Each structure stands twice: as C-alpha cells, then as structure tokens.
Amino acid sequence: MQKYRLFVLLLVFFSLSGKTFSQEVLTTHNIFDVKSVAEVALSPDKNHIAFTVNVPRPFTDAAGGDYRELYVYDVLTQQTRPFITGKRTLFGIGWAPDGETITFRANFPDQPGTQVYGISLRGGEAFAITRHPLGVNAYEFMDANTLAITATGPADQAIANYRRKGMDIEVFEEEWRHINLYVYNTTTHEARQVTSNGTVFDFALSPDKKWAAAAIAPQNLVDDSYMFKRIHLVNMLTGETTLLMENPGKLGSMAWSPDGKKIAFQSASKLEDAVVGSLFVMDVPTNKKFNELRNLVEGMELSVISHTWKDNNTVLFAAEEGVDITLSEQRVDRGARNLLIEPGQLIFRGFSFVDGMVAFAGHTPQHPAELFTLEMRRKTLTRHTNHNDWLANIRLARQEKLEYHTRDGMRIEGVLFYPLDYQEGKQYPLITYIHGGPEAAVQNGWFTGYGTWGQVAAARGYFVFAPNYRASSGRGVDFTMVGYGDLAGVEYDDVLDGIDHLINIGYVDRQRVGIGGGSYGGYFSAWSATKHTERFAAAVMFVGISNQVSKRHTTDIPWEDYYVHWGFWNHEDVDRVYASSPIKYAHEAKTPILILHGDSDPRVHPQQSLELYRAIKMHTETPVRLIWYKGEGHGNRRNTHRLDYIVRTMQWFDHFLKEGKSGEELPEKYPDLGF
C-alpha cells in the first residue's frame, strides 16, 4: 500500500510540474548544470579532505569558464562544509605543515597576480600567504614560514617602453621569460631566487627540503614543456643545479621516496614515445643512464597517469588500462603489482595519499566526478558526496565497454552508448566520437560534456561510439607507436572496422553514420568527410587539421610533432605528408561538414579550418559551414561558446542523420540557445 501511495504522489508531482518520466532526458543545456569534484587533498592526519568543485557559470553572468569552490569533508563526522563559494576560482590546493590551514592558489583582487592563500580549518576569511610581485606558478612548503615557489621572470622594460609608444606588436617566440625557482619567506615576504638560465616547469622537494628535483628546459616555450624538460637536482641553499637524468623526450611528475634516497618519475620510454606513460625509479645521486633504469610497467598494456610512494620500497600508481583506470602498488625491487582498484570500478586521474588512505575525484557512467576514498588495507571504496542529485530524475542510456577485432586481428576497445529508447532489431543513426591526441584515451565513466556528447546524443536517439584506436594511450608503448609516421593509416582503419562491426551486428544504419571530434579527432573527421566521404553522412570538425604540410610549421609544438608523430621533415617526403592531408581530397567531398575553430588557437592554427572550408566551398556543392569562436584557443573556455558548440553539433547531426535533409537547406545559422 505504501509503494502505491508513493507512486500516486510521484505521478501527481510530475503532472503538476508539467513533466513526465519520458521527458526527463539529458539535454544540451543540462550539461551546464553539472557540478564535478576537481582536486582533492588529504590532511596530514587524514581526518579531513579538502576538495574543489567545478561549478558551471550561470549564463546570466559575464561569459567565462566555470567557477571553482572549496569544501572540506570531515572523515570522522562524515560531514561536508563549504569554505569558499560563489564567484571565485581557486586551484592548487594543499595543507600547511600545521595541518590546520588549507592552502591554494588564486587570483583575488587584493593582491597582484596569482598568489598562495590560506584559510583556517576553523573557518573565517582567506588570507594571502604570498605577496610576490610576479605571482606564483607553483608552491611547496619547506617549513611553517617558508615556501619554495616558481614564478615567471619580470617583463623586459624595453617591451613596455615600445608598447607605450602605441606599438601593439609581438616579437614572436622572443618575448618569453624564464620560470625561476625561489625560496619565499612568508613573514618578511622576501624571495630569494634559486635558479637561473633555465625554465623550471615542475619541481618536487626532498623530504628534508634541502634539494629539489626540477624539470628544467632551456626556454619557456610550449615545445620545451613537451619535449625538452630534463631532471635536474637543485641545492635549495646554494642554487647549484646539476643534471640528474638525461631522460628522453616527454617527462611527467616526480616524487621522492620518504627516506630521500630515490625519485620515481613518469616519462616517455624513448624519444619517439608520445605518451608519458612509463614509470621509472632512480637513486639520488645516481651514476646510471636512462636506458639502465628499470621501467616498472614495461610490457604492461597500460599508461601511468599519476604516482606517489607508499613507503621506501613501494610505489602507488594510477594507470589507464584501455577504457578503465586502475590503482596499483608495486615494490620497486621485485615482484608483480597488487591491484587496489580494478578495471571497471571507477574512473579517476590524480589522487592524494596519506598512511593507508587514498582520496580522489572519481566518476562512473552514472555520475560525474565525486569525492571518493579508498581504505587500502580492506580495499574499501567509499563515495562521500553527491553534487548532482537532480540526475536521479534523468533517464540515462545504456553505456558499456565495447570490444571488437580489426581486419588484421587486433583487439580494440571503445565505449558504446545505446539510444535511450533502444529497441532490439531496429537500426539507428550513429555518431562516431574521435578523441584527440592521438595519445589519449576514452574511459568508460561519465562521458558527457560540451565536447563529449555521450548521453546527450543517446537521448536524441543515436548510438555513440568512441573507439580507442591504435596510437591511443592506455595499451602500452607498442600500441601507441603504431601510428608513428603513418597518420590516418592503421589507426584510422581501426575506426572504420569498429563502425563496420556495429553495422554488421545490426545496430547501425550504414546510410546514417556521422563522425566528430576535436584536434586529432577533428583531423579524423575531416579525413572521413574527404578521403572516405562515401562512408559518412555528416561530420563535425573542431579545431582540426586539414593540411599536414602547413600544420607542421604553424603549430606551437613543431618539435613534438616531428619527434613523436612523423620522424621526418616535410622536405624529406612532402608527398607522404600531403597524402595524409584531408585537403588533398577536399574536391571529392560529399559529406556535409560543420567546421568550428577558435580564432586564437596556437596548437592547430585557424588556417587549417579556413583551408578546408575554402576548398570544399570552391570545388564542390557539398554543405559546409565555418564557425569562428572569437578569442578562443585550442578548445572553448567560455561557457557561451561551449553551449553554442554542442547545440550546433547536435543540430548538424540531427539535420543530416535523422531528418535526412539535403544540402539545399542548411541548419539555422543562429540556433536558439535557450537563454
């Protein structure tokens, strides 16, 4: 009887609200209601967890990115308290040595630039810990009154003088300034510069705070941050800096063992390796060369994404494993790893560890990122927050890991979303989502945002297929290296084979297949709309590549492109590079393509979109539209532009995949954004 009364009450509620259960589906606008936990930091006594929450900026506010608020979870009382909320954004959270002060970086109006702030666990107002005139890029406590910080050097006065005369110019790639390491006294607010003649992109202090392991590059350019960081040892008293390890190519984070005798670091396995997915341990000091170090994950089909030390002989690390994330512990001297979080349990990236407890932001197909802890001894995984209770009234589509075999027998993984009201035996339109990189991977967690359309597209009646094609991360070095020098070769065949698999098992209508993605995903979308135009009924290209010849010399990472993707220069085999370019086949394009790009993109120059648009427009009758996002870079930061992107994307796919419109009638130029 009680269940019946509950049903009647719910029925009355939804009738009065003008809604029905069938109407409760995820829409493009719901994406901008989603809150998600971002950073987490365990207190030294592990009784509290500080964490930040990304809060969507209302469209009634000035356009911009999400706000980021600060909360604290009390492990003993199991209560969460808000500490800093509202129209604020903060990041880089941690704890002061006293364990009673939460610290973070923020750009608040009371101080110049970004500074380190603190707020007492007892509450009250946030206060500035640093007042550095150059701002603070990163920080770590040395003691209660001393911080190690990095800051970008002062601007050249000659530049200011020149611009004061009305010369609004930039001397390209010559106006950079080194990022230096400093020791900062929080009492006197004096800073002593420790490093010079190199840019410190990252650092980690030794347990005794006398040394810093520093990732130093010759210049403060983006390409240097990708390819030319090497591990140095810095004496924090004298500033003496020595090369500790000549690591090849890409370098990730570093962590000292508790006794200060070892450093574990993430790195590419070799210069040509695109993924910072291997884990190495070295003694400090060391007389070994890089190729003499043991790769703790050698031969494993995974990519390490974060790590720390459990004790002097054991490392904890999180890793991508196909569409899953795992957490493992492994002794550095011997033996196999011990899985703490197994595939399929939870998706997360970084984590905070203190004495047997791990805290992190985790998500699943059913919910965005929330605060979780793992009690290691019992392997007890617990969720502590729920920032999106409105999702309980949303019907989510079936989502699952998909495995299939390619034409050459390789097993490929991906994530598959079913149409929300899927009926067995019926064929549906398909949107193929291609991740960027290509050294990245799709995980089987919450996969719906402005640029990842999973549940939104499924609610509109689509299958959504997101493959981790060869060259993706998460399957080991050999898997990643397949695409080397062969862009859009075997790696692209993996995508076609996945689509064919879905067609062959009766899920997908082969006449209604679409494809979309950003960056390298945009490249694949352009490749599909031109080279393989007969296979696709619609395409969406976001910040994508159309001409590999011109892209290589207009990107901000030309050395990265050379070392980890091509291995040769244009002048050595320009025909091969051009043959991998969608622009070569643009005159044959029959697939309607929507092209979108930030007009300030330094990674993939906006020229790439203009070239493809112009070629298709001039040489075909194929529907094509180009959207410029003013002031945006390699991806949209402003909430208004994010909304426009997903609304236009769904509009384009609906128009050509569901409604079957021809090119004579393009979708509305200025769609209703709902506000």
Provide the pLDDT for residue 21: 43
When pLDDT is averaged across residues 120-137 and rounded to a whole number, the result is 96
Residue 530's nearest CA partner among 598, 579, 601, 472 is: 579
How does residue 464 score in pLDDT terms, banded at 50, 70 and 90? very high
For residue 17, pLDDT beyond 70: no
Helix (H, G, I), strand (E, B) or coil at 43: coil
How does residue 637 score in pLDDT terms, banded at 50, 70 and 90? very high
Where does 397-658 sit in CATH, by number? 3.40.50.1820
Q: Kindly report, residue by residue over 288-301, the tens digit of the pLDDT.
A: 999 999 999 999 99
Which residues is 115 bridged to in the sheet? Answer: 106
Provide the pLDDT for residue 675: 82
Provide the pLDDT for residue 170: 92
| Residue pair 321/337 in contact by the 8 Å Cβ criterion | no
- Paired sense of beta strands 399-405 and 411-417, if any: antiparallel
| Cα–Cα dist 497/465, whole Å | 12
8, exposed or middle or buried, with CB in 10 Å at 0-12, 13-18, 19+? Answer: exposed
Helices 490-504 and 520-530 cross at an angle (nearest 10°) of: 70
**DSSP-assigned letter for residue 583:** G
Provide the mean pLDDT of the chain.
95
At 98, list the tokens. 């006293």
Provide the pLDDT for residue 661: 77
| Cα–Cα dist 195/208, whole Å | 19
Q: Kindly report, residue by residue over 198-233, the tens digit of the pLDDT.
A: 999 999 999 999 999 999 999 999 999 999 999 999
Give the sign of the dihedral formed by CA 575, CA 581, CA 585, CA 587.
Answer: negative
How does residue 665 score in pLDDT terms, banded at 50, 70 and 90? confident
When pLDDT is averaged across residues 146-158 and rounded to a whole number, the result is 95
CA 134 to chain centre: 27
At 660, list the tokens. 């079957």
Q: Kindly report, residue by residue over 415-462, the tens digit of the pLDDT.
A: 999 999 999 999 999 999 999 999 999 999 999 999 999 999 999 999
For residue 623, pLDDT beyond 50: yes
Boundaries of every domain in the chain: 397-658
| Cα–Cα dist 119/369, whole Å | 24
- Paired sense of beta strands 314-321 and 251-256, if any: unpaired
Which residues is 37 bridged to in the sheet? Answer: 53
Phi, psi of 159 (to 5 degrees): -65, -45
At 617, list the tokens. 């427009």
Q: Kindly report, residue by residue over 385-394, the tens digit of the pLDDT.
A: 999 999 999 9
194, exposed or middle or buried, with CB in 10 Å at 0-12, 13-18, 19+? Answer: buried
| Cα–Cα dist 323/568, whole Å | 32
Provide the pLDDT for residue 663: 67
